[in-house]
Amino acid sequence: MSVTVPPPRKPAAAPPRNRTHYLYLAVIVAVGLGVLVGLLVPDTAVQLKPIGTGFVALIRMMIQPVIFCTIVLGVGRVASAAKVGKVGLLALVYFLVMSTFALAIGLVVGNVLHPGSGLHLDGTAAAAGQSAAADGAGSTTDFLLGIIPDSMFSSLTSGEVLQTLLVALLMGFALQGMGTAGAPILTAVEYVQKLVFRVLAMIMWAAPIGAFGAISAVVGATGIDALKSLAVLMLGFYITCLIFVFGILGTVLKVVTGVNVFSLFRYLAREFLLILSTSSSESALPRLIAKMEHAGVERTTVGIVVPTGYSFNLDGTAIYLTMATLFVADALGQPMGIGSQISLLVFMVIASKGAAGVTGAGLATLAGGLASHKPALVDGVGLIVGIDRFMSEARALTNFAGNSIATVLVGSWTGGLDRARLDRVLAGELPFDESTMLDDQPIHQPTHQPDPGVVAGQHGAPTAAQPA
């Protein structure tokens, strides 16, 4: 009796070495060089601005396809439409509560510091303030109507995140209602998602060049003098943002989920670096979606909370609007009472929806709000034009931190968080795949109902009730 010896197994091929850490070391070096160039040759540095603008434009080009695919897949595969509504409603309530906290802490710090006292307004600053007010003009009605795209397909090319969110939700619900007939479409969308994230991973290799151009232009245009003269406002704003993120958001995250905020931010360190170098939280939006899914937050929750948070969860912008308003009022010798402060700031927080990822949008919102409620203060906005870019970085970092924490919290509250996987990811046991930004999972093929006439085969062949 012969015995067949199976051939020896080949050793598994070693996974390709992850070289993306060199990319982010290069970004750090590029930021340092950019600051140096901006200080030494400011005129030349300012001309490098298109490099940074081009890189951010490349990232923004990918945002709407990423959001569309994530939401369509998340909503289309969820068992009940009620869960989508629950996630969305809970997220909006949370955003409202946190924005109120952000306003309150900004009011307290601003009224204690009075950072605008002693400054004087000149003609140049007044003109800059009027220009910013023109950019910030717009009503709440315009904002709401702007959510509706010109066509279903233009929602992917308009540059408006909320338009993409609306169309993706409608398509997701439609596919959910189609049942098995919609499965092939969901499979096609999943292939498109893999392609989109692969393209995004390729674009990220241009990050050092983009960071160098962006930082060089900012430092070259601003210089040291503006930073010195407005240091009190800048430092007060930075400290307020830190207190809010680590003192309030960090405490809520720890109490609700037991997750340490420092562990979460270490996991998102590369995204924070990207935002710091580009001054736009939108540049990290696609990566936040991918990383939150990888960390164990359900795709439906990620697809709803992250894009919605980028338009409605503007904690950093709320703090900025609070402190900047008090700064301008004090600088012009027209201090505002508490009642006037609250009514004006509530209006500006509503008007600021959708401005999270746009560099300089906070300044335009500030000027537009003052023009509507307190026209006498508009000229004073020009006093902070010089440092707004540096404050924009803190706004963007705070907004991003708030949205990342909100995603984990809402996932925990709605049962959409795999806590065991999150712990392993934050501990470094399940590293994020930087080369594809997607977990290496097979595409979900559409399932077909078996023919009732199929009978069991021999030698363990699958039956109609036993899929292969």
Digit-coded pLDDT (tens) for 193-225: 888 888 888 888 888 888 888 778 777 766 665
The set of residues, in sequence order, having a beta carbon less than 8 Å from that of 81 and lying 6+ positions away, is 173, 176
pLDDT for the residue 446: 46
Domain ranges of the chain: 22-140+149-426
Which tokens hold the place of 277?
């170098």
Please report which residue ranges of 41-80 form alpha helices under DSSP H: 42-46, 49-77
Go through 408-434 and write b for each residue having 16 or more CB atoms within 10 A of its CB, e for each that does not. Answer: bbbbbbbebbeeeebbebbeeebebbb
pLDDT for the residue 14: 45
pTM: 0.72
Let me know if domain 22-140+149-426 sits in CATH 3.20.20.370: no
pLDDT for the residue 117: 58
pLDDT for the residue 459: 40
The set of residues, in sequence order, having a beta carbon less than 8 Å from that of 430 and lying 6+ positions away, is 294, 421, 424
Amino acid at 356: A
Tell me the C-alpha distance between 266 and 261, whole Å: 9
**End-to-end Cα, the chain, rounded Å:** 33
Tell me the C-alpha distance between 297 and 293, whole Å: 5
Go through 202-225 and write b for each residue having 16 or more CB atoms within 10 A of its CB, e for each that does not. Answer: eebeebbbbbbbbbbbbbbbbeee
Give 10-residue mean pLDDT values along the chain (468 residues). Answer: 54 51 78 83 83 82 82 74 79 87 83 64 47 51 75 78 82 84 86 85 82 78 61 80 92 92 92 81 83 89 85 82 80 75 71 50 70 72 69 85 93 90 91 71 47 40 39
Cβ burial, residue 179 (10 Å; 0-12/13-18/19+): exposed
pLDDT for the residue 425: 92
pLDDT for the residue 229: 56
Digit-coded pLDDT (tens) for 253-271: 999 999 999 999 999 988 8
Break the chain down into helix, strand, coil percent, rounded to 5: 75, 0, 25
Tell me the C-alpha distance between 17 and 31, whole Å: 26
